[in-house]
Amino acid sequence: MAKDFSTPLARVRRDGAAGEGPGHFIGQRASAVALAILSPLTLIFVLTAAASGPGGVTDMLSTGWGAIVTILFFTAALYHGRLGAQDVIDDYIARQGTRIVLLLANTFFTAALWVAVTVSILKLSFGG
């Protein structure tokens, strides 16, 4: 039996080594399940739209369901990618200052990319 070296407070809070507890794990699994559902759905939407001609994807994004499914897909994909990159940074970057800068860059880059994708899809959806 392995000896538990956690403090009593850490055991009560169920914090892991990073102090985040199960939230990160659950976020990764939830976004993976969302991607397992949304990826084939988005692929079907895009392939069907692309087969209808040059403006098919734009037409698909201008419909409510096409825009919603695409925004949900990109939201889940970017969130899942951000969590994966965070794991790599936490595991392999030893210097605290470098780790903080990279984690901030990871978050801001993901947020900026999400805003750009969402605004673009909404502009197409509303004909702007």
Domain map of the chain by residue range?
26-125
Q: How many CB atoms lie within 10 A of CB 73?
A: 21
Q: Is the pLDDT of residue 3 over 90?
A: no
d(CA 98, CA 104): 10
pTM over 0.85: no
Summarize pLDDT for 56-101 with one digit per residue, the tens: 988 898 888 999 999 999 999 999 999 999 999 999 999 999 999 9
d(CA 83, CA 25): 9
d(CA 110, CA 22): 22
Angle CA 30–62–60, to nearest 5: 70
Summarize pLDDT for 11-56 with one digit per residue, the tens: 666 555 556 667 888 999 999 999 999 999 999 999 999 999 888 9
Domain 26-125 in CATH 1.10.3720.10: no
Q: How many CB atoms lie within 10 A of CB 20?
A: 13
